[in-house]
Structure 1
């Protein structure tokens, strides 16, 4: 592992979400880094400025202050610029999700992480690169944990037939009106000579909650997937075998570790394991969680291991 001199210049790129989430940790990291090396601090306001700062770093060693998403973004940018091989990346984890940084060996405290930037050593790590030029640092899983299967409504999505709060429903004939069955514009005066009857509107609203109208489309419960998983061109599992999950992680030494969990029928199913350099998953539309984000749906994706592609500065004992 290569070590660094404290006289080296640093480019400290502070992700905007880190500044919002924990400004005190950001300040501490800046103070520690500035005390130990010549630093240039960049405060990008969005992804484009973040990318521009990395592209214009010159001879400075980049230091990302942010969460897991900021780390993956930086690695992806350097990969697409084809500059990962000659770049040692450092990170000070600040923000919400930091599990990936911790798993890679980056200290999760601002002071310890900043000291590792100054005193640590570069360690070369394997990287997964997919056929759309995306990168995976820690691993991926199908289906993604905490995310519904195809057919189920994603978290936060408005169900079919439901109306979002504050939205204007379109009634029969295309006229805009309040959410309901289209009769809210009817005069409530009835036979009382034009006297308003607000209680009638209240009763109608109550009836609507008790009497079913058009049935909403029920969300499909998560079920088994049918996917073809190939490792180095050899089929590990085919479409005729339903699956519970597939996980793909860098296994070291330029190999990827693949684990397929078949659907258990009666007795618990034994996972299928394989190692190789390239993994292809294909079949019906599927989503996958890679590092800190969910991607998809896609019908086919191939991941290839790039051995020692990422240089990450870690504490000497990591």
Structure 2
């Protein structure tokens, strides 16, 4: 259920230092709109440590993050690890950064215009969101995807290699992974996994697991717990790459946080 996101106790506006360097004009616009519409405390942290301290000392102010996807993930991670994350206290995001760093914001429904996003922070509606939490206490807001291993060149005869310097056709190298969803084995190491994604869906539901095995066979399942293990693999969660690792488990936490969006 969504609910109005009217400020209670004012706003804490946390401006990511990267956003200040890359697009000072959008930051200025966001600050002006927010300050005109609410009692806003503007914080300009110069480091991740200052960002964390300001967020921890927010009191009753509602956090508004000015920055890219990474700044939003950092804020949610800090609140989760301090056990302050709640579906009752909505966060707002003013997306500022290169287009390639705002894919999560776009997928969550945040306006990419600084003016529209600032107005949504003032009078928008808070929408509960699910969260994936892994066994290292990391969080995933939107989804994750196991990265491909890459490709290799198939060597041919000496004559053909001399005629074709590339050496031969390129083939994709697949993972050999065991994938479990709520304890059920969806894929094991005797099958090659070409693609694997885990995505949060409607709040309070289950995460969607999609696996593409070699031979174009596709497996889709919904689950609250997903474990991936096997050969070393890397994955990209909310645009940030992690790994290589050999095992990781993600648990879904329903309506664990809220994000303010336009009415």
Using structure 1 for the length normalisation, give the TM-score.
Answer: 0.73
Distance 1:6 1:254 in 2: 28
Matched, 1:263 2:214: yes
Question: CA, structure 1 residues 6+228, in 2 after alignment: closer, same or farther (shift >3 Å)?
Answer: closer
Question: CA, structure 1 residues 121+73, in 2 after alignment: closer, same or farther (shift >3 Å)?
Answer: same
Question: CA, structure 1 residues 117+257, in 2 after alignment: closer, same or farther (shift >3 Å)?
Answer: same
Residue 222 of structure 1: CA displacement? 5.4
Matched, 1:110 2:114: yes
Distance 1:14 1:231 in 2: 38
Q: Which runs of 5+ in 2 are unaligned?
A: 153-169
Matched, 1:92 2:94: yes
Matched, 1:101 2:105: yes
Q: Structure 2 matches for 1:1-318, cutoff 5 A?
A: 1-5=2-6, 8-85=9-86, 86-96=88-98, 97-143=101-147, 149=150, 223-252=173-202, 253-264=204-215, 269-316=216-263
Larger radius of gyration: 1
What is the root-mean-square deviation in Å for CA atoms of aligned residues?
1.7
Native 8 Å contact 1:286 1:299 kept in 2: yes
Q: Which runs of 5+ in 1 are unaligned?
A: 152-219
Residue 287 of structure 1: CA displacement? 0.3
Residue 5 of structure 1: CA displacement? 3.5
Question: CA, structure 1 residues 55+93, in 2 after alignment: closer, same or farther (shift >3 Å)?
Answer: same
Question: CA, structure 1 residues 6+138, in 2 after alignment: closer, same or farther (shift >3 Å)?
Answer: closer
Native 8 Å contact 2:11 2:64 kept in 1: yes
Distance 1:5 1:21 in 2: 29
Corresponding residue of 1:210: none
Native 8 Å contact 2:110 2:117 kept in 1: yes
Distance 2:171 2:19 in 1: 36
Cα distance per residue 1:188-241 (max 9 Å; x no partner): xxxxxxxxxxxxxxxxxxxxxxxxxxxxxxxx9851100000000010000000
